[in-house]
Amino acid sequence: MTDPARPLTLLGIESSCDDTAAAVVRAGAQGGEILSSRVVSQADLHAAFGGVVPEIAARAHAEKLDIVVEQALAEAGVALGALDAIAVTSGPGLIGGVISGVMCARGLALGSGLPLVGVNHLAGHALTPRLTDGLEFPYLMLLVSGGHCQFLIVSGPDDFTRLGGTIDDAPGEAFDKTARLLGLPQPGGPAVEAEAAQGDGTRFRFPRPLLDRPGCDMSFSGLKTALLRARDACMAEAGGLRRQDRADLCAGFQDAVAAVLAEKSRRAITAYLALAPAAPALAVAGGVAANGPIRARLQALCDETGLTFTAPPLRLCTDNAAMIAWAGIETLRAGVDPTPEQLVARPRWPLDSGATPMLGSGKKGAKA
Ligand code: KG4
Ligand code: ZN
């Protein structure tokens, strides 16, 4: 087991979707210090296609990875040889991008003789509250991104219990599709949130799927069909989509997503509190965690149920490599041997191997 007091410094590499990222993170007594964090988005390359094109993503990662790694090391003022290890996302994600990252990391590790840790991208998101806030295990995590949506009890760096998740679209996907249906730019989340701020969330009452069923599973695909119908009705009435209609549709949609997330979080909290955690906490991560009204609903729920609410800063909610470096630090600290098997690039890699597999696929490929 590595001495927990030793300030490990790791390079992290992330390329599982449409962001090429590298970061250097040093472990502190509580949490970590981000010495550098570079993220190069491929959004422009995919914009014309209405979604991430895996082949374009893989090629762009392969072109940019070396540069981004060099920039991250230079900005941190840390030479490759001064690192303790390299951590790389080895799944789940779009396989071409994951392979690009793993190959780059392997080359660096071979050349420098540094240990190489394969990190689960979802573990990166799920462990972020420990990087930023030094949160104690076990905590409850709501992971809500463009590709994933699940409740996890995080009991250790490699100890996750999934309480439930989406059975179809992830909320970020639903935000993106809503934006597309309403002629708003991608990524849809921030655009829909900005429109919703001008709208009346009570005008359209969109469905709250699966609230009538027990458990923490969620569904968001029906929401976009309901939105499409409401949009068409507005357009038929006015001969086009009026600004106020668009804002009200966004507000109604966002309200429905927030209501489902809040109600399912309430149920997840009940299950989590049965473990009698010493310092109960709910943390939220992933791109959708950037949404102000959703955060506010979760904060209110935590105030009511006596949990601490933690949401990482926005730049750490969306994909980044600091979370990968941090997950690598946690893995080494836990004494997990960086085994070669971890370095197989995996398109699908559930955090809780005992849970029933989620069906369908998201923007990052198969759901985990
Ligand atoms: O975590 P992330 O960067 O990538 C994935 O792992 O998917 O999340 C990106 C997703 C996109 O679908 C984007 O529309 C959504 O997060 N998102 C938001 C907001 N900002 C980003 N959704 C709702 N409100 C936001 N403010
Ligand atoms: Zn992600």
Tens digit of pLDDT for each residue in 300-349? 999 999 999 999 998 998 899 999 999 999 999 998 877 666 688 988 88
The 10 Å CB-count burial string (b at 16+, else e) for 302-317 is beebebbbbbbeeebb
Q: Exposed/middle/buried for 222, CB within 10 Å: 0-12, 13-18, 19+? A: middle
Going through 28-98 in order, the beta strands assigned E by DSSP cover 32-41, 85-91
pLDDT value of position 237? 94
Instruction: Output the CATH code of domain 8-134+318-366.
Output: 3.30.420.40
To the question of whether residue 121 is assigned a binding role by annotation, the answer is yes
Of 274, 159, 166, 291, which is closest to residue 216 (Cα–Cα)? 166
Q: Which of 16, 40, 169, 175 to mutate to test the pocket of ligand 1 (most atoms within 8 A of CB)?
A: 175
Mean pLDDT of the chain: 90
Quote the CA–CA distance of 326 and 349 in Å, as a whole number.
Answer: 19
The CA 368 to ligand 1 mean position distance, Å, reads: 17
Quote the CA–CA distance of 149 and 168 in Å, as a whole number.
Answer: 10
Q: How many CA atoms lie within 13 A of 191 on its CB side?
A: 17
DSSP 274-329: TT--SS-EEEEESGGGG-HHHHHHHHHHHHHHT-EEE---HHHHSS-SHHHHHHHH
Ligand 1 neighbours by CB, cut-off 6 Å: 17, 145-147, 172, 175-176, 187-190, 193, 286-288, 290-291, 318-319, 364
The CA 191 to ligand 2 mean position distance, Å, reads: 19
Ordered strands of the 19-27 beta sheet: 32-41, 19-27, 9-14, 85-91, 116-120
pLDDT value of position 367? 46
Proximal ligand: closest to the CA of 123: 2
359 pLDDT band, cuts 50/70/90, is: low
Indicate the residue type of 15. Answer: S
To the question of whether residue 61 is assigned a binding role by annotation, the answer is no
210 pLDDT band, cuts 50/70/90, is: confident
pLDDT value of position 342? 66
Indicate the residue type of 149. Answer: C
Q: Any idea which residue has 């209110």 for tokens?
A: 300
Proximal ligand: closest to the CA of 365: 1
Quote the CA–CA distance of 77 and 39 in Å, as a whole number.
Answer: 17
Indicate the residue type of 222. Answer: G
65 pLDDT band, cuts 50/70/90, is: very high
- Ligand 1 atom 22: the closest Cα is on which residue? 189
Total residues belonging to the chain = 368
Residue 161 contacts residue 148 (beta carbons within 8 Å):
no
- Ligand 1 atom 16: the closest Cα is on which residue? 287
366 pLDDT band, cuts 50/70/90, is: very low
H or E segment at 162?
strand 159-165
The CA 333 to ligand 1 mean position distance, Å, reads: 30
Of 324, 291, 12, which is closest to residue 149 (Cα–Cα)? 291
Q: How far apart are the first and last CA of the chain?
A: 29
pLDDT value of position 358? 60
What's the rounded mean pLDDT across residues 129-142? 96
Neighbours of ion ligand 2 (CB under 5 A): 145, 319
pLDDT value of position 356? 67
Tens digit of pLDDT for each residue in 213-225? 889 999 998 998 9
The CA 246 to ligand 1 mean position distance, Å, reads: 20
Query: Residue 6: is its pLDDT beyond 70?
Result: no
To the question of whether residue 144 is assigned a binding role by annotation, the answer is yes
Question: Beta strand 85-91 with 9-14: parallel, antiparallel or unpaired?
Answer: parallel
To the question of whether residue 18 is assigned a binding role by annotation, the answer is no
pLDDT value of position 352? 85
Tokens of 203: 């005008």
Domain locations in the chain?
8-134+318-366
The CA 319 to ligand 2 mean position distance, Å, reads: 5
pLDDT value of position 361? 44
pTM, two decimal places = 0.89
70 pLDDT band, cuts 50/70/90, is: very high
Tens digit of pLDDT for each residue in 15-48? 998 889 999 999 988 899 999 999 988 788 887 7
The CA 173 to ligand 2 mean position distance, Å, reads: 12
CA angle (208, 217, 298) in 5-degree steps: 65
